[in-house]
Amino acid sequence: MVKRVSLWDAGCPVARALDVIGDWWSLLIIRDAFDGVRRFNEFQTGLGIAKGMLATRLRDLTERGILETAPASDGSAYKEYVLTEKGRGLFLVIVALRQWGEDHLYGPDEPRSSLIAAETGAPVARLELHAGDGRVLTWDDTEVIKINPI
């Protein structure tokens, strides 16, 4: 991922997270990996991404510990890409993007995919941020304490 500047050294976990996965294609690859896509050709067909671009992204994501390679599940010679534990930790990032998209980017009757609980088939609940004591917090109930206040 080509960057003009790296914010890795920033004391902000958001900046550091984006330094690692803040690329449109990378997040779509991660989304597809959650949906069970495992092979180069499957990613390529699903995303319509150029092969070189996909190869670079898969390599970067593997080097960064988000994906790892595994032998093909059907015993063939294909290499497969699966999410590591660190990669699976991105699940709520994908869910938060999904719920915001559902809220703001679709017309009322426009068809879209939905995320359900596998066991019941019912839609998942909305994400909520809670305080330690259980109260629901909105953005203006919170504050960021920086390590280098200006």
Q: Decide: residue 57, CB within 10 A, 0-12 exposed, 13-18 middle, 19+ buried.
A: buried
Q: Which of 53, 55, 70, 72 binds a copy of itself (CB under 8 A)?
A: 53
In whole angstroms, the minimum distance from the beta carbon of 55 to a copy of itself comes to 15
Rounded to a whole number of angstroms, the minimum distance from the CB of residue 64 to a copy of itself is: 10
User: Helices 24-34 and 51-63, interaxial angle, to 10°?
Assistant: 80
C-alpha 147/C-alpha 149 separation (Å) is 6
* Contact by Cβ (8 Å): 57, 23: yes
Rounded to 5 degrees, what are φ and ψ at 71? -65, 150
* Contact pick of 52, 74, 77, 104 for a copy of itself (by CB under 8 A): 104
Cβ at position 125, least distance to a copy of itself in Å: 4
39 binds a copy of itself (CB under 8 A): no
Angstrom distance (rounded) from CA 25 to CA 18: 13
71 forms part of the interface with a copy of itself (CB under 8 A):
no
Which segment (25-33, 54-62, 71-79) binds a copy of itself by CB under 8 A? 25-33
Residue 82 as a binder of a copy of itself (CB under 8 A): the answer is no
Task: Tell me if 144 contacts a copy of itself by CB under 8 A.
Answer: yes
